[in-house]
Amino acid sequence: MVRVRMTTPATGTATVVACSTDNFAIRPTSFTVTASAVPALGATIKVGSNFNFTATSNVASGYTGTPAIVPASVFVDGTTTPITATNLVGAFAAATGAAATGTFQYNELGTITLNTDAVLDTSFTSLDQASGGCVLNSTSNVLSGGKYGCNIGSAVFGPLGRFIPDHFDTVVTQGCNTTGTVAQIFTYSGQPFTATITARGAATATPANKQMTKYAGTYAQTTSLTVVPASGTLSPLQALSSDFVSGVATKTLVFTFTTLPSVPAAITIRATDTDGVTSLGATEGAVNARAGRFSVSNALGADLYPLSVPWAVQYYGASGWITNSDDTCTAVPATSAIGLSNYKGGLTSTTVTAVTLLTAAPATARNGAGIITLAKPSPKLARSGSVWVSPPTLPSWLQPGVAGLANFSIFNGAKEFIYMREIY
């Protein structure tokens, strides 16, 4: 704000003295915008990262105004479509003589261009605006009716960056996911499971960890999928850019231990795209991998009754194969898939043919176990006999199965014991 006093002649004794009738502002003609920590077109910067804009006026001193970003004049991806105002966060500090600097974050993918007058100071000439001494809503530096525009504007600047996601989150849905507790849900080695990969913004941005819904099509990249630790193989090994919809890719994956059997392990699923965006350091889901098999137990019973043959779905633990009591997922196929072979003694393929399950086929494991029921021999046996009961047709992750030996004895009430002694 100034008030002017003029005299003439310029030297010697003044013969004429004139003063301005009021105060008025002398503004810079324009801003030149520069940026730091944000790359030019082609290089990448993560969404939500801090960067600086500096608006430099064309005066060496005297400018103390506070410019602002005009979101409607900031365009996306080389178009004339303005950004969503809330995606550009930040503000300029007051200038200290020539330039004003502010810290900003951009929370969307792609590039941005600051169009003409995207940086604007509308208040530096407020004194003249109130008195009608300048043209409102104008940045013109050409006299119009003896007045200049009231506002200080900027030239076109950009495009800037290619803003990319800050990170991925990965979430795993286990192959057997019916028990509802984290400690019990699991996936057998070789069993399909689901992984969800979500592109997100920075945790320090506003809003935090924003889902990058724009990450799809040309904005998405091929994303490699790896396992940590590398104790097995994963298939497939990547999510294609076409797999992402609104920033999310859902993939059906299979993890297989390199060495079988192996003890249970938590296998982390890591996602990394060709821009280096990764889930490392963010939320990463893990497969609770177990080596599994289907085992039919031996059974002994009288030939006068049907014989119950226990079966169990097992996993390999630190002490060997144990019943997987968490398994409520494995279904036993129809009875025709259960094999009877290698008949011995009084049994033949015609004396024992009927096979049923404890529940209607296909039966599902209860706490990892179930029952196969063999019909009693017909006609009645003349001597004891046995038959091997093979596992049913199994999914690949429970193969090879273990067969059990079913023994029918002609002695009613036979018990499984090696030695018995009666004491009176």
The CATH number assigned to the domain holding 226 equals: 2.60.40
Does one domain contain both 286 and 297? no
Q: Which of 290, 324, 353 is the last residue of a domain?
A: 290
User: Could you read off the pLDDT of 271-323 as tens digits, one per residue?
Assistant: 999 999 999 999 999 999 999 999 999 999 998 888 999 999 999 999 999 99
Q: Which domain holds residue 356?
A: 293-409
Q: What is the pLDDT of residue 335?
A: 60
The number of distinct structural domains making up the chain is: 3
- End residue of a domain, out of 252, 270, 290: 290
d(CA 244, CA 200): 13
The answer to whether position 323 is within a domain reads: yes
- At residue 417, the pLDDT reads 58
Residues 6+ apart with CB under 8 A from 10: none
The answer to whether residues 292 and 188 touch, using CB atoms and an 8 Å cutoff, is yes
Residue 179 forms part of a structural domain = no
Q: Are residues 94 and 146 in the same domain?
A: yes
Domain-embedded: residue 4: no
Domain boundary among 133, 163, 193: 163
Predicted confidence at residue 192, as pLDDT, reads: 98
In a domain, 8, yes or no: no
| Cα distance between residue 109 and residue 162, in whole Å | 7
Same domain (yes/no): 74, 93? yes
Asked if residue 203 and residue 153 are part of one domain, the reply reads no
Q: What is the pTM of this model?
A: 0.84
At a CB cut-off of 8 Å and minimum separation 6, what does 259 contact?
A: none
Token pair 């192996």 is found at 262
In a domain, 232, yes or no: yes
pLDDT for the residue 120: 98
Assess contact for 371 and 308: CB atoms under 8 A: yes
Rounded to an integer, what distance in angstroms lies between the CA atom of residue 307 and that of residue 354? 11
- Low-confidence residues in the chain, pLDDT < 70: 1-8, 14, 16-25, 179-183, 334-336, 353-363, 410-421, 424
Distance, in Å, from the CA atom of 237 to the CA atom of 218, rounded to the nearest integer, reads: 20
Q: Are residues 267 and 313 in the same domain?
A: no
Same domain, 297 and 355: yes
Which helix (H) or strand (E) segment holds residue 188: the answer is strand 187-188
- Indicate whether 150 and 74 sit together in one domain: yes
Q: Which of 89, 54, 112 is nearest to 206 (CA)?
A: 89
34 and 131 inside one domain: yes
Same structural domain, 144 and 198: no
Q: Is the domain of 278 the same as that of 353?
A: no
SS3 341: strand
The answer as to whether 17 is a domain residue is: no
Same domain? 232 vs 279: yes
C-alpha dist (Å) from residue 265 to 48, 316, 319, 327, 330: 35, 11, 15, 17, 20
Q: Is there a single domain that holds both residue 159 and residue 34?
A: yes
Residue 157, in any domain of the structure: yes
- Domain presence at residue 238: yes
CA distance 288 to 396: 18
Task: Please report, for residues 153, 193, 221, 330, the alpha-carbon distance to residue 179 in angstroms, rounded to integers and kept in the order given.
Answer: 63, 15, 36, 13
